[in-house]
Amino acid sequence: MNDDSPLLAEIKRLIETAGPMPVWRYMELCLAHPEYGYYVSRDPLGREGDFTTSPEISQMFGELIGLWTASVWKAVGEPGVLRLIEIGPGRGTMIADALRALRVLPPLYQSLSVHLVEINPVLRAKQQATLAGIRNVHWHEDFAEVPEGPAVVLANEYFDVLPIHQAVKRDGGWHERVIEISASGDLVFGVADDPIPRFEVLLPPLVQMAPAGTVFEWRPDNEIMAIAARLRDQGGAALIIDYGHVRSDVGDTFQAIARHSFADPLQHPGGADLTAHVDFQALGRAAETIGARIHGPVTQGEFLKRLGIETRALSLMAKASAQVSEDIAGALKRLTGEGRGGMGAMFKVIGVSDPSITSLVALSDDAERAAEGQKA
């Protein structure tokens, strides 16, 4: 009896018909297949789900993002309408915490028009519940649908789910990494027969010199370029937070996460989150090519400390029971810590703005230097 899931059966059929499938296409189908894709069919967040993100760890995260948003509003001249856009907002927790923090600034709060870009109907319903009662919130399938105007764009753990290409170095050049069907009927990694033409010349020197067998991965630049072009033309700034490295480098970071553990990315397509680390140097380069200015990257720990997370934790702890105080201290450690389980060094933060904004709060040059030595 064939017990392949519907998505596995479809992927095998596509490989049998069209030949080995590039990693990016596999990742795209697993995450966003209109019927069986991981991100169109479930809420993957939280203890009961597959992974936990920073906004779900503590309200402090979203509150500080609210504070950062206020600093951009000032930097763009306190416009009458500011588009507050979040791409991939999960359960809406971060934006709800940010908006609560921003209520103390009525002129800013009243200027906000909130735009959530989300493809997942299950999460969209959760966002609607989380934000019930807040006026002026709009949902979109695509970033390009958001109306014009100065904007703050937020994306936490969004870029890591965008499909990656992988190439493997062979003696004669770099070959696209693909997924094939083994003799026993399982999905396995392979490489395309022909090298990618003239691929070598596009690579950073460090990567060009890598030995045979090395994997190099990259994402198409269209998403970051669309954000950068909007900010360049209409003003504002974006904050991109994710796990990744500050310099482009070799390595295979393609991974599956299910039930809070790493899993085999080729097992259970559509049943696990598939991600890859974000190359912040490549993101920054793409944004600068479009004519936007970049700020950072800095580590998440540095960014949150610069925004005052330690003071905020102390003020919350002062009003809390012993048990809740302990939870707040634990959340602070997890969000900013650099050791095992800490997100403070593994996660990086980069700002992208229209070129007239010369500095962004918590992402200044000093912080940039601090991040220099910290490669994931």
Ligand X SMILES: C[S@@+](CC[C@H](N)C(=O)[O-])C[C@H]1O[C@@H](n2cnc3c(N)ncnc32)[C@H](O)[C@@H]1O
Contacts with ligand X, residue ranges (CB under 6 A): 32, 39, 45, 53, 55-56, 87-90, 94, 117-120, 123, 156-158, 161
Helix (H) or strand (E) holding 8: helix 6-18
Task: Give the shortest CB-52-to-ligand X separation in angstroms.
Answer: 8
Task: Give the shortest CB-263-to-ligand X separation in angstroms.
Answer: 15
Task: Give the shortest CB-46-to-ligand X separation in angstroms.
Answer: 9
Task: Give the shortest CB-306-to-ligand X separation in angstroms.
Answer: 20
Q: What is the token pair recorded at 343?
A: 């997100």
**Cβ closer to ligand X: 14 or 119?**
119
Please name which of 361, 132, 68 lies closest in space to residue 84, comparing C-alpha atoms: 68
Query: Are the beta carbons of 363 and 241 closer than 8 angstroms?
Result: no
Amino acid at 21: M
**Cβ closer to ligand X: 96 or 203?**
96
Cα separation, 223 vs 299, in Å, equals: 22
CA distances for 339 relative to 182, 301, 342, angstroms: 39, 11, 5
Task: Give the shortest CB-344-to-ligand X separation in angstroms.
Answer: 16
**Cβ closer to ligand X: 145 or 233?**
145
**Cβ closer to ligand X: 72 or 239?**
239
Provide the terminal-to-terminal Cα distance of the chain, rounded to the nearest Å: 44
Q: Give the residue closest to ligand X by C-beta.
A: 88
Please name which of 141, 146, 142 lies closest in space to residue 115, comparing C-alpha atoms: 146
Amino acid at 48: E
- DSSP tally for the chain: helices H, then strands E: 15, 16
**Cβ closer to ligand X: 100 or 173?**
100
